[in-house]
């Protein structure tokens, strides 16, 4: 079963922090790799091949309540606990052979489980839309082969979110670390849970209850003869609104963002370049439909022919880097602020100056290129975590229809993220977003049938003609899209899928994909020659072109853990390591697109 992008982002972050926190606790390097996530029922969980294990319970409280469980192999638990209390290696190995899990080593493993629960709480409070706290309680033996999957112990039947990863600790050979959480608590499975709501107190007897109303006599309705016929009012033609056309707005916005990057880079002594510079209509819900890293929005107060507020948005780590570079903080101190996720007063003031430069660049270009008066002044800064933002909340910006210019920042000295400027279309004097005409896989909207007129009570001379049903939209043929700049690789992927029923469409990264709009796209492959910033920019473009609910599989060589996390953040549903075999390509299609390649 598919796992939402928000859940993927949260648990990828948990994995990163767990490696750091557990490694710091044990005083050694801990690597957590091969991260897998799925939704399984109890029978499927019990069917996983594992030996004698340890089951640690984490009690969940907050907006949802329930129990989560950490499952670790018994020998791994002995190793983790023994490493924490610095047992000699030969003693740890002896305890593993004897399956001895008691005393200090067992207590020490409990401390490791406490760290895991603490990381879960920290990341969920920081990134998940609803607040959830995790507290480790009991640690017990877990031998699935001796338990009944239909029983309520050690956890009841049902659907569970299952996350697991491989552990590497020094030279020890270890198994997978697993965590299971009731799927409904994460909005997954067949019955997502609703947040806990405190019940309203019942009104005391005789209070707050509606009293029976006395039955009023019906008012006498006026007859047709009593009604006066009003002359229809003559409507004056509405004054035609003169909008700024999108190409004009695009030129001004793109030139403004480019100049902002140049001026900020010049001030900080950095070579900043923009890649994948794009504009689009976007609502607040669409903007936050993909999870991202913690970010900061600087208000840009607009005056002139219209008044309102635009928003300059950058990732928090980039804001810390810009501000820290401006006040010449040591690199180590910049990294400490980045890890803590806090600006601090000095860095906030410094980034405020950067935002002032940006507002100046915007004003200069709009004065020269925009047909309306448009002045900007920096306002307040709003720190936010995208996965926790709710559309109905006023921060970091209200629910409205915006026009966005964005680009990926490229800097040789550092890995930077996306830069965006959002402004309400009413402030830019842009026309409302054009009605959709059916995108990739999106059916045309059927015309709504007209309401039938109510017949007069007089005798009818002819029977009323039956209304004809609206014609159903023509069904589009299914297709799989392959995007890449290496023709040989695209042809190999296409030949691997020739047995699939859908059509295969091939595009280069620079194409406009207009042909795909004639098909119902099941999903897409993006083949990357290199896993780098330019390829991630292509990924953003492809992801924005295909329907949000359709999977994007990204193929590329030499993936690192941070690359995988970034790909998921940019909307990838699955990763494929290249060069790949035909079977591997087909397996990805059958798993993600739910179609056969046999």
Can you tell me the mean pLDDT for 215-233? 49
DSSP-assigned states of every residue in 260-286: HHHHHHHHHT--EEEEEEEEEEEEHHH
Number of helices (H), then strands (E), in the chain: 15, 17
Res 40: pLDDT:
92
Does residue 186 register a pLDDT over 70?
A: yes
Cα separation, 527 vs 388, in Å, equals 32
Cα separation, 577 vs 335, in Å, equals 31
Task: Tell me the HSE value of 258 on the side-chain side, using a 13 A CA sphere.
Answer: 13
Q: Do 401 and 433 meet the contact criterion of CB atoms below 8 Å apart?
A: yes
Res 117: pLDDT:
93
Query: Domain 478-592 is classified in which CATH homologous superfamily?
Result: Response regulator (3.40.50.2300)
Can you tell me the mean pLDDT for 143-151? 84
Res 387: pLDDT:
86
Express each pLDDT in 396-411 by its tens digit.
999 999 999 998 888 8
Highest mean pLDDT among 141-155, 311-325, 537-551: 311-325
Does residue 175 register a pLDDT over 70?
A: yes
Res 467: pLDDT:
47
Does residue 39 register a pLDDT over 70?
A: yes
Does residue 157 register a pLDDT over 60?
A: yes
Task: Give 5-186's CATH code, choosing from 3.20.20.70, 3.40.1550.10, 2.60.40.10, 3.30.70.141.
Answer: 3.40.1550.10
Res 587: pLDDT:
86
**Sequence ranges of the chain with CATH classification 3.40.50.2300:** 478-592
Express each pLDDT in 499-534 by its tens digit.
667 888 899 888 877 778 788 888 899 999 988 888
Q: Which of 182-191, 206-215, 350-359 has the lowest mean pLDDT?
A: 206-215
Res 205: pLDDT:
47
Res 307: pLDDT:
92
Does residue 573 register a pLDDT over 70?
A: yes
Measured CA to CA in angstroms, residue 35 lies from 9, 490, 579, 589 at distances of: 12, 28, 21, 20
**Sequence ranges of the chain with CATH classification 3.40.1550.10:** 5-186, 246-428
The hierarchical CATH code for the domain 246-428 is 3.40.1550.10
Measured CA to CA in angstroms, residue 186 lies from 7, 192, 268, 455 at distances of: 7, 7, 43, 52
Tell me the average pLDDT of the chain: 81
Q: Which of 109-123, 178-192, 210-224, 294-308 has the lowest mean pLDDT?
A: 210-224
Cα separation, 300 vs 356, in Å, equals 9
Per-residue pLDDT band for 466 (boundaries 50, 70, 90) equals very low
**Whole-structure pTM value:** 0.56
Can you tell me the mean pLDDT for 75-94? 88
């Amino acid at each position: 079963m598919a796992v939402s992008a928000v859940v993927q982002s949260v648990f990828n972050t948990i994995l990163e922090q767990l490696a750091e926190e557990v490694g710091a606790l044990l005083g050694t390097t801990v690597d957590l790799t091969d991260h897998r996530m799925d939704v399984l029922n109890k029978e499927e969980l019990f069917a996983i091949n594992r030996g004698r294990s340890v089951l640690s319970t984490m009690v969940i409280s907050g907006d949802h309540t329930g129990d989560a469980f950490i499952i670790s192999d018994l020998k791994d638990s002995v190793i983790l606990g023994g490493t924490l209390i610095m047992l000699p290696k030969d003693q740890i190995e002896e305890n593993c052979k004897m399956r001895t899990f008691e005393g200090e080593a067992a207590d020490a493993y409990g401390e490791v489980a406490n760290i895991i629960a603490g990381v879960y709480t920290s990341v969920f409070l920081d990134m998940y839309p609803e607040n959830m706290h995790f507290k480790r309680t009991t640690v017990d033996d877990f031998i699935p082969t001796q338990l009944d999957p239909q029983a309520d112990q050690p956890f009841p039947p049902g659907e569970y979110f299952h996350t697991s990863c491989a552990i590497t600790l020094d030279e020890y050979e270890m198994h997978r670390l697993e965590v299971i959480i009731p799927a409904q608590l994460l909005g997954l499975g067949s019955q997502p849970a609703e947040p806990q709501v405190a019940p309203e107190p019942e009104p005391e007897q005789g209070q707050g209850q509606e009293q029976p109303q006395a039955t009023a006599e019906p008012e006498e309705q006026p007859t047709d003869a009593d009604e006066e016929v009003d002359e229809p009012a003559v409507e004056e033609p509405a004054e035609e609104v003169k909008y700024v056309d999108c190409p004009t707005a695009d030129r001004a916005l793109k030139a403004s963002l480019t100049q902002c990057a140049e001026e900020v880079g010049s001030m900080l002594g950095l070579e900043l370049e923009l890649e994948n510079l794009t504009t689009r209509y976007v609502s607040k819900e669409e903007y936050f439909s993909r999870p991202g890293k913690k970010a900061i929005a600087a208000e840009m107060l607009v005056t002139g022919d219209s008044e309102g507020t635009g928003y300059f948005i950058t990732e928090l780590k980039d804001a810390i880097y810009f501000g820290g570079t401006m006040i010449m903080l040591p690199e180590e101190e910049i990294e400490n602020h980045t890890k803590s996720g806090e600006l601090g007063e000095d860095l906030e003031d410094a980034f405020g100056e950067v935002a002032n430069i940006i507002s100046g660049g915007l004003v200069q270009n709009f004065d020269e290129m925009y047909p309306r008066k448009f002045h900007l002044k920096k306002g307040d800064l709003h720190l936010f975590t995208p996965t926790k933002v709710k559309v109905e909340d006023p921060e970091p910006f209200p629910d409205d229809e915006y026009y966005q210019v964005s680009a990926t920042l490229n800097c040789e000295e550092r890995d930077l993220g996306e830069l965006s400027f959002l402004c309400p279309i009413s402030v830019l004097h842009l026309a409302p977003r054009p009605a959709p005409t059916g995108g990739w896989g999106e059916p045309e909207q059927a015309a709504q049938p007209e309401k039938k007129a109510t017949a007069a009570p007089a005798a009818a001379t002819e029977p009323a003609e039956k209304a004809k049903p609206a014609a159903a939209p023509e069904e589009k043929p299914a297709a799989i899209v392959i995007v890449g700049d290496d023709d040989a690789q695209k042809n190999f992927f296409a030949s691997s899928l020739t047995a699939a029923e859908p059509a295969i469409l091939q595009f280069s990264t620079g194409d406009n994909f207009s042909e795909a709009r004639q098909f119902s796209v099941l999903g897409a492959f993006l083949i990357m020659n290199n896993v780098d910033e330019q390829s991630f920019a292509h990924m953003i473009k492809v992801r924005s072109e295909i329907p949000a609910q359709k999977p994007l599989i990204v193929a590329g060589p030499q993936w690192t853990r941070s690359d995988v996390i970034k790909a998921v953040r940019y909307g990838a549903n699955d990763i494929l390591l290249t060069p790949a075999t035909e079977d591997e390509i087909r397996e990805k299609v059958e798993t993600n697109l739910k179609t056969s390649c046999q």
